[in-house]
Amino acid sequence: MSLTVELPTSADDAVGLLADGGLVMAGGTVVMPLLNTSAHDVATLVSLRGAGLSGIKMAGAVAELGAATTLAQVGRDERLALLGPVIESIGSPPLRNLATVAGNLFVPSGDLAVALLALDADVEVAGPGGRERMSVAAVLGGGLAPGCVVTGVRFTVPAAGEFVYTKAMRRRMNSGSIVTVAAVLGYTDGVVTSARVALGGAWSRPRRSAAAEAELIGAPLSRERAERAGAAAASAADPPTDAYASAWYRRRVLPIHVRRALIGE
Amino acid sequence: MASRVIELMVNAEPRELLAPPGTTLLAALREGLGLTAAKRGCAQGTCGTCTVVLDGVPVFACLIAVETIQGASVDTLEGVSGPDGELDEVQAAFLEGFATQCGFCTSGMIMVAEALLAENPDPSHEDIVRAISGNVCRCTGYALIIAAIRAAAARRAAAAAVA
């Protein structure tokens, strides 16, 4: 099939081009393998590389990441040091020089997506009807309406120590996820009063575990509470099987990694 | 859609080529410009043998549609050696340290090493492992590759001290 590659210079330009259909490509780390190695039926690619959607802005504690900001740019930004371990856990340096923030929301097991869920990020979307903000959970759960494109994500950087992250991998570097855990806990007088526990590898897409969160709220964080949260997460999970791990294995190790993420041991 | 004329700075020289839609940077280099050091391995960004340096950072050339980087600066292994073909420190360290077996990963390994040393002239073992973590050596010659990159850093430091 003959291919067209569109090179919009703005988000609105991209939305206009998508009115006739087309596949959005940002860093190319997902789309190009498809084109290179499969009998695809892609007729139009809409590249976001030149669409002015790259960059990181801070307004107080609120971080705004342009959709086409590369993972390497995020990893280098000292204002986003909390995401350093997340970025380092994804792919390899040359991949991270291409892969983008928004692209990570559309890969099967995006680890940055797991972190953004825990951070309660919202996603700015441009579409034929204008701009809107969606929760990252909504984008991960249901995707975007046809003709829409992510222009950025926004979240409030939590206080130091409130965000935790761990990713179980097949190798120490450059491996897909077995399970990924990201969490933000809020405390009042030492008691956990809010909890967002996001999991990768527990379902086919990143999701928060309400069962794990319920086990944490209302008490000080302890090993026992962390183990209960892990057990609850595993009971509620429906893990996928893929080349990195079986569903059985993921369910088996999930409680340990939830506990390690929460209490560090 | 019609092919596009693509202009790039390749190894510090302006080059242009005609690329059909969706042509990868890798294909543009190999088939358009005859620069065959970067290899096609997995074609999905997992093996690293197509690594080139794009605007100063290492990337996988198989993952880039060349029309999306119009005007960019691309450095390949062909541009690493000196004007009379003399090997640079990284190449010399690879040769003398037996860091090449079948050679299929070598171009990518050297380009990753060049980008690493440009940013960090004195990398630790861990820095090197991280830098080459996206490059597969299917002969499993990693120990000698890591040693060669350390040796190249030492050669450059010694040369800088003399100069």
* Whether the Cβ atoms of residue A180 and residue A258 lie closer than 8 Å to each other: no
Residue A30 structural domain? 4-47
pLDDT tens-digit series, residues A5-63: 999 999 999 999 999 999 999 999 999 999 999 999 999 999 999 999 999 999 999 99
Contacts of A116 (CB under 8 A, 6+ apart): A105, A136, A153, A155
A39 with A88, same domain: the answer is no
- Residue A69 belongs to domain with CATH number: 3.30.465.10
Check CB contact under 8 Å for B59 and A7: no
Residues of A in Cβ contact (< 8 Å) with B135:
92, 94
Band (A160; pLDDT cuts 50, 70, 90): confident
Backbone angles phi, psi at B22, to 5 degrees: 85, 0
| Closest CB to B67 among A5, A36, A93 | A5
Check CB contact under 8 Å for A93 and B133: yes
| Closest CB to B44 among A33, A50, A93 | A33
Band (A109; pLDDT cuts 50, 70, 90): confident
Check CB contact under 8 Å for B112 and A37: no
Residue A257 in tokens: 């990694």
The pLDDT of residue B4 is above 80: yes
Size of interface A-B (CB pairs under 8 A): 94
A128 with A100, same domain: the answer is yes
Check CB contact under 8 Å for A29 and B63: yes
A198 with A130, same domain: the answer is no
Query: Taking the model in full, what pTM does it have?
Result: 0.97
**d(C-alpha A182, C-alpha A197), whole Å:** 6
> Looking at per-residue confidence, does A1 or A123 come out higher?
A123
A124 with A187, same domain: the answer is no
User: What's the confidence (pLDDT) of residue B161?
Assistant: 87
Q: Work out the minimum CA distance from A29 to partner chain B, whole angstroms.
A: 6
User: What's the confidence (pLDDT) of residue A1?
Assistant: 55
The pLDDT of residue A85 is above 60: yes
A85 with A107, same domain: the answer is yes
Q: Domains in chain B, ordered, with CATH?
A: 4-79 (3.10.20.30), 89-162 (1.10.150.120)
Percentage of chain B beyond pLDDT 90 is 95
B3 → chain A, closest CA residue: A4
Residues of A in Cβ contact (< 8 Å) with B60:
94-95, 98
Q: What mean pLDDT is predicted for residues A219-235?
A: 98
- Residue A241 belongs to domain with CATH number: 3.30.390.50
pLDDT tens-digit series, residues A235-258: 999 999 999 999 999 999 999 999
Band (A264; pLDDT cuts 50, 70, 90): very high
B78 burial (CB, 10 Å; 0-12 / 13-18 / 19+) is middle
A60 with A132, same domain: the answer is yes
Task: Please tell me what DSSP assigns to residue B130.
Answer: H
For residue A195, give the 3-state DSSP assignment.
strand
Residue B15 in tokens: 């080059």
A104 with A120, same domain: the answer is yes
The pLDDT of residue A148 is above 90: yes
* Whether the Cβ atoms of residue B75 and residue B11 lie closer than 8 Å to each other: yes
Task: Round to the nearest angstrom and report the end-to-end CA distance of chain A.
Answer: 53
Q: What mean pLDDT is predicted for residues A175-198?
A: 97
Percentage of chain A beyond pLDDT 70 is 100
A67 with A151, same domain: the answer is yes
User: What's the confidence (pLDDT) of residue A218?
Assistant: 98
- Residue A43 belongs to domain with CATH number: 3.30.43
The pLDDT of residue A87 is above 70: yes
Residue from A2, A4, A5 to probe the interface with B (highest B Cβ count within 10 Å): A5
The overall average pLDDT reported for chain A is 97
Q: Work out the minimum CA distance from A88 to partner chain B, whole angstroms.
A: 9
A80 with A24, same domain: the answer is no
User: What's the confidence (pLDDT) of residue A2?
Assistant: 86
A151 with A168, same domain: the answer is no
Of A139, A89, A70, A131, give the one whose Cα is nearest residue B133: A89
- CA A126 to chain CA mean position, Å: 19
**d(C-alpha B110, C-alpha B137), whole Å:** 12
pLDDT tens-digit series, residues B63-113: 999 999 999 999 999 999 998 999 999 999 999 999 999 999 999 999 999
Give residue ranges of B with CB < 8 Å to any A CB.
1, 20-22, 24, 43-45, 48, 51, 54, 57-60, 62-65, 67-70, 112, 129-131, 133-135
Backbone angles phi, psi at A213, to 5 degrees: -60, -40
The pLDDT of residue B163 is above 80: no
* Whether the Cβ atoms of residue B42 and residue B53 lie closer than 8 Å to each other: no
| Backbone φ/ψ region at A143: left (φ over 0), alpha (ψ -120 to 50), beta | left
Check CB contact under 8 Å for A2 and B68: no
Q: What mean pLDDT is predicted for residues A185-206?
A: 97
Orientation of helix B142-162 relative to helix B89-96, angle to 10°: 130
A128 with A175, same domain: the answer is no
pLDDT tens-digit series, residues B120-135: 999 999 999 999 999 9
The one-letter amino acid code at A119 reads L
Say how many domains are in chain A.
Answer: 3
Q: What mean pLDDT is predicted for residues B19-25?
A: 97
A25 with A93, same domain: the answer is no
| Closest CB to B22 among A3, A29, A88 | A3
Check CB contact under 8 Å for A28 and B68: yes
| Closest CB to B45 among A5, A29, A93 | A29
| ipTM reported for the complex, 2 dp | 0.97
Residue from B1, B50, B64, B68 to probe the interface with A (highest A Cβ count within 10 Å): B68
A92 → chain B, closest CA residue: B134
Residue B114 in tokens: 């060049």
**d(C-alpha B57, C-alpha B119), whole Å:** 9
